[in-house]
Chains A and B, each alone.
Chain A
């Protein structure tokens, strides 16, 4: 091990400038003095600054997050742990969570995205679950923005580089482009793991005298104050903060994953937590906080890979691929044996105490002593000022009657199908291993990804969704629609939702308009979660997504998991055979506000997002799931961005061999609205004609409108009397829409 520069550590003086540089307000500093009963030293100041950062403390969001429904019959672990856990029967459970890595990915796209994946994977295997599937939700600036190509290539390569190497498949995701993300991209990573119900581990410290063990990579100076960076807005100058981005080592994480899962088969450990944001500090104090005990760390025992690191740096380092364990006394050598097998460090660096204090030692000298409560339960919480933006009224004003319909709707459809938000994302997911673990039943590109659960007849459906344009125009409705669409995507493969995780990406909470958006989105999500009966089991808030005072659109990303009882019954969105009947479940209205059509064809982001009746939404979803379970359907595809015409075109071109369709849908609404309206609660299904009566019976039982609108077959996409194009041509446009713009 490297010898630190000095056994002595002189704490620099705490000055007003230093306090401000740590992102602490004057009131927060006074609160620290009160909690300690004296002025903090330099190390303590650092510990407080990361633990009280927005990223770690959720100080602006906690007040609103309470409103999300987190309980359900099958929920084994709700928010507050490394990941949420839901029972799926047969003695098994799933652990899942989503996290953002937005700021680092903008500064250094490859490593930022890679370590985002690494972090979320650790959150999952910390719970004792083997990660079996990942998803990612990405937002970039306008496709023609000079930086977009570089950021997109780097982020995708980073996600693949990490996920592929560690052997966890990336089975799905979403990617959108909008100029509101030009200077603040979003990278949200989701992972799900499977765990035996009676072998779930949590991040808890307990049992005075039990050893605290450090495992994984050695500690370096990377990522110091990463959590603080994630709690500030961007400016030109802060882009220079490249050194605060960590560097990922997926190989070491793979070893760590296998070693931890091997360890967890034994009864050696009490609790375990990933050293993520705020590293050793947050993992140790949070574990002690949950256990109601104290913790003492000997920082001079921490394995280091850089010379001369100070206690302050060791506590705040965000070096990747590290875990903290609290073990049963006497099992240390057994634990070390397992980690030795995998060529990893496992070092006792401290012990559990009964004094409810966080104490850090440096060569027998105490360098920090803080009551655990002050860092966890008693961290500041704010009910920030919230105010409806003045522009809100104005952006909702939109008179469709004044919008001129395109002369040729064939052209409009082709333009939409080739737009970067709608075109095939194969260029992205082709760079991700989506087969490893040999469970992938529905690969990326469908409404939801589906994996089988080996040893059972069950499967899991996974999706990530969120339309930020809707949230910008009406954050409440946007919150509702994000949850509704995620659940609908699960219904389209025949799954029933069992839980959700979220990444809430917003601007600065100190901006009352942003806070209002946040509160509204949460309320919307709450309404939809209650109506659709989906509990929120984990999540993450990412504030300060703004550059030079301009926030991104409010962007809640919903990751939802559904259970499939009979895995061999699932369907994909693509049409299967000529002669199959095409049916629309739900109803189309003249709703173009906030649509992809309005944005891409007319350059307008205005109006109100589509209306939704959550009872109808729920009924449509149940219809679709039941019809799939009863093997009535050949395909099902949710109608979303680009409306019915785009959805139908995707059904034609998304499968292995393109198939034509002839649609005759009589609605007394204008042509562009009929084709491109984004009315909610609609699903396009195809089925054998002889099954129509069965479908009629199911829809009647749920009072869901259904309309036979056409037949699969031929080589043309015909939407009478508005559109008539060759399917080959559409396939070409859709397949190359993204890649042609990246050249």
Chain B
């Protein structure tokens, strides 16, 4: 399994993803620089969290123009797995690989806290080792993580079963009180119709060790690794 992790200027969680994949999960990882062209064979490319270009414009709006994004678009179109975490999710929405947008949290403040997530769909390479309805615990930390999509888009997300994760309470209910940012329908993560591009606001890389309070993030990464073992990787 070959992972690639892109560093944009202002990426902060790139080291964390690389460390947990390598150290906690024993994976092979290539560090990618945003100014380079995408080259090499990869099973999954991660767009990490952070504040690309300072998020001074709309989050992710600048990073989508980085040179590496051209190759990434092709990689995604040819079926390669793309995982966007937090700022990475924002970049995927800005680049059109995922529908909808991430806007300012409804509470208007940055929010850093652990959340419960419910796995909604398992017929994707990202979630195939997980169980439908399974609860995962990991942190969110963002100022603009409120997922928004117009009713028509939401309808198609539901129809195509693209909503992969929802914010829920400890009992697994998508209660309003369990929604940290006001996301529509408590949406925490979605995939594209082809099910090979996945964006989520929570941070699995911060939940890969019992010492840090949760290993649920590792379950997600290992689910991807297991799915890739059965796939032929596309050439980037």
Binding site for B on A (CB under 8 A): 157, 160-161, 164-167, 249-252, 254-255, 341-343, 429-441, 452, 454-455, 567-568
Contact = CB atoms under 8 A, between A and B. Distances in A.
Interface stretch (B90-98, B104-112, B182-190): B104-112
Contacts of A437: 15-16
B54 A435 contact: no
A446 to B, nearest CB: 13
A451 to B, nearest CB: 10
B211 A431 contact: no
A435 B112 contact: yes
B12 interface: yes
Contacts of B9: 251, 254-255, 342-343
Contact of A165 (B35, B51, B112, B208): B51
A438 B212 contact: yes
A435 B51 contact: no
Contacts of B206: 435-436, 438, 440
A343 B62 CA distance: 15
B166 interface: no
B10 interface: yes
Contact of B112 (A430, A439, A441): A430
Contact of B51 (A250, A342, A438): A250
Interface string B1-28: 0000000011111011001100100000
Interface in B6-64: 9-13, 15-16, 19-20, 23, 35, 49-51, 53-56
Contacts of A567: 211
B141 interface: yes
B23 A433 contact: no
A429 B54 CA distance: 21
Contact of A438 (B20, B50, B56, B143): B20
Given A165-B54, A250-B54, A435-B206, 18 more contacts: A161-B110, A165-B55, A251-B10, A251-B51, A251-B55, A430-B111, A435-B212, A436-B12, A436-B13, A436-B206, A438-B19, A438-B206, A438-B208, A438-B209, A441-B211, A452-B211, A454-B23, A455-B23
B139 A435 contact: yes
Contacts of A568: 211
Contact of A433 (B15, B35, B141): B141
Contacts of A255: 9-10
Contacts of B118: none
B113 A430 contact: yes
Nearest to A450: B211
7 contacts: A251-B51, A432-B112, A435-B139, A435-B212, A437-B15, A438-B20, A439-B212
A431 B109 contact: yes
Interface of B: 9-13, 15-16, 19-20, 23, 35, 49-51, 53-56, 109-113, 139, 141, 143, 203, 205-206, 208-209, 211-212
Contacts of A430: 109-113
B211 A251 contact: no
A31 to B, nearest CB: 45
A426 to B, nearest CB: 8
A167 B13 contact: yes
A441 B49 CA distance: 20
A35 B160 CA distance: 80
Contacts of B110: 157, 160-161, 164, 430-433
A167 B50 contact: yes
A436 B16 contact: yes
B118 to A, nearest CB: 19
B51 A254 contact: yes
B130 to A, nearest CB: 21
A429 B110 CA distance: 10
A254 B53 contact: no
B43 to A, nearest CB: 22
Nearest to A441: B211
B54 to A, nearest CB: 3
A435 B211 contact: no
Contacts of B51: 164-165, 167, 250-251, 254
- Interface of B: prevailing SS: mixed
A251 B16 contact: no
Nearest to B108: A157
Contact of B205 (A249, A432, A438): A438
A572 to B, nearest CB: 11
Given A431-B112, A435-B112, A440 B212 contact: yes
Nearest to B35: A341
A454 B23 CA distance: 9
A136 to B, nearest CB: 14
Nearest to A426: B113
B203 A165 contact: no
Contacts of B11: 167
Contacts of B13: 167, 436, 438
Contacts of B139: 435
Contacts of A433: 110, 112, 141
Residue from the set A165, A255, A429, A439 with the largest chain B CB neighbour count within 10 Å = A165
A501 B103 CA distance: 40
B207 to A, nearest CB: 9
Contact of B12 (A254, A429, A441): A254
Nearest to B9: A255
A621 to B, nearest CB: 24
Contacts of B12: 165-167, 254, 436
Given A160-B110, A430-B113, A441-B211, A436 B54 contact: no
Contacts of B16: 436-438
A454 B53 contact: no
A584 to B, nearest CB: 28
B141 to A, nearest CB: 4
B109 to A, nearest CB: 5
Contacts of A165: 10, 12, 51, 54-55
Nearest to A431: B110
Contact of A164 (B19, B35, B141, B208): B141
Contacts of A454: 19, 23
A588 to B, nearest CB: 34
Nearest to B143: A164
A550 to B, nearest CB: 33
A342 B212 CA distance: 32
A164 B111 CA distance: 11
Residue with the greatest number of chain A CB neighbours at <10 A, chosen from B112, B206, B208, B212: B112
B212 A441 contact: yes
Nearest to A161: B110
A570 B49 CA distance: 29
Query: Which among B9, B49, B208 has the highest number of chain A CB atoms within 10 Å?
Result: B9
Nearest to B53: A251
Contacts of A452: 211-212
What 3 A-B pairs have minimum CB-CB distances, sorted nearest first?
A: A167-B12, A251-B54, A438-B16
A431 B110 CA distance: 5
A251 B12 CA distance: 11
A436 B48 CA distance: 11
